[in-house]
Structure 1
Amino acid sequence: MSASVTLSRFDARPLIAASVALIGFVIFLPPLPAYAGEKSVFADVVVERGGHTGEVSTVFGDASVHGPVAGNVHSAFGDVRVGAPVDGSVNSGFGDIKVREPVTGEVDAGFGDVYVNSRVGSIDVDHGDIRLGPDAVVMGHVRPGSGEFRPDPGAVIHGPMGAGMMPEFESSGDDGLLGYLGWLLAAAGFAACVVLAAVVAPRALSASARRAEEAPGWSLLVGLVSVPAVLVLSVALAVSVVGVPLLLLLAPAYLALVFYGALVAAFYVGRKVVLATGRYRSGNASAAAVGAILVAATTLIPILGEILLFGLALLGTGAAILALASRRRARRPTYPSYEAFVGDRRDA
């Protein structure tokens, strides 16, 4: 049997089944409200009129504040509604935020819209719209991103109007210079990591890049499936006492895998560009440097740049998983019968 193993032999059905099970679990799980002190994953969090001291957070649910909160209020994918004073910050990654009572700290949204009709510390929005009601008072800055900014004539803003995510690079003065320097340092650091990986582990990096070139669809699919698969594993470890120490190692391990996937994607892109220019004699280090600069440049594209960067990282992650699976299968001989297995063991 040949040592090379084709990609079609890789069975991704367990990973796909795990992701489907997770999606079904999230969809059909009853949205029961959690106690305010809990850090919920799937359920809504409701702070009753008695109030709460400490952080209020949920991942997939909504956060509703009907009583005073002495802490931060956070939801990753859900909406946040503030109907009582919050002595902290309020933020949501993908949901909308509505503030009708004072918030001491910052109101921060990633991809959702923000409506404020009370006193807040500051407002920071990346890609959603910002609406200020007639009773809105912003003590600090307002930083709109790529969305619209619609203040009521009665709204008061004491701080400066900040630039959005991309205009920070284009602003004048020291802030613009620091933005450019920060991006250059980050791009240089990333390029150094890709070049170092190409020099120290060229075979592993090339094998992963080859998988991305041979089957980009499968690589991206496996990378996407790895996200819910890790989430399912995290939930399973969280409910078991023995798995709690492993849970503390799972998050950094998966982040390291995704970062390695970004290195693989950069090397894959760089090698394609170098070969397209006809420089067939260029080494791995040159391809790694070119790919790293191109991948880092995606962060300069508003909205789509972040999606493209995340997609490339997952593409490289899936390619690395496929390369590792193919390598392990290649090391394991296949025997047509039990007698052949025993004979091979005897000869060894």
Structure 2
Amino acid sequence: MEPVPAEIARIVSETSFSGVVRADLGDGRCWSVAAGPASRRFGVLNRPDTPFGIASGTKGLTALTVMSLVEDGTLNLATTARSVLGADLPLVDDRVTVEHLLGHRSGIGDYLDESELSGVDDHVLRVPVHRLDSTEAYLAVLQGFPTAFPPDERFAYCNGGYVVLALIAERAAGVPFADLVQQRVCGPAGMTGSGFARGDAPPEGAAEGYLVVDGEWRTNVLHLPVLGSGDGGMYAPAADLAAFWSALFAGRVVAPASLAVMVQPRSDVPEEGRRYGLGFWLHRTSSVVMLEGCDAGISFRSEHDPVTGRTLTTIANTADGAWPVAAALAALYGLD
């Protein structure tokens, strides 16, 4: 392991960062630093190998799962959502396709519209969180949202669209969505410590996500679905993200031609200073590819430069703790 750069050590200390930072430099060298509590209740500290929730970072793995089903002919990018959903979610436009959903260009109404939130810690689901224990169970929160705009008119980030993708994948393959992700992405990528788990039964050693409630630190277990689906809910240690990017660009998850389709810019997103492909955020000018997630008690960013092989990952078990460190990390290595 390389020494932690002084600038990163300083920001970790000054911001009371709680999480893990890891840099894989593309030439066999890497460094990592862990800080803060994994469990405030039991006095357990974060470690470099601690699994964390990655929130919307899950979407990239959902997209790859779907693309692998496209590769084997189970689905097609032109497959309509309606052809798989049947009578469910009748407000989803009949013209919406898998490709629209992957690129956040479907126009469907969103059960979790982030533009309407003052902060991710404030979100309250429409049903008790313990009822969301399968992908099919999400029908209860997905229904009732009218179309926002015609398919492919524009980009609009849509959490619900990725749950619809999970429903489509699960029904088309006849395999539970969490198992599909494990079989088609985590396994081939060598992500041995990653996967879905219930929030009330997290992986061994996983960091608890924290937010402040009435002036006290509380876990996020009452703020998130008990079991995630296509738009979030996976756990991963930082080292698995390095394994993921390496395997992905080596063609071990989907074929290089499929990956090229996924990282082709489909939308400019000026408010984010980035572009978007199919399941991945893309740097505004370079070939850098990103996964990012934010939720109650979770903030996460992992970015990979396929030219240099460099991977930078920051995971925190608070909703905003990752951002100052991730920005400094990107600036340090010229990925900002």
TM-score (norm 2): 0.21
TM-score (norm 1): 0.21
* Larger RCO, structure (CA 8 Å, separation 6 or more): 2
For the pair shown, the structure with the greater C-alpha radius of gyration is: 1
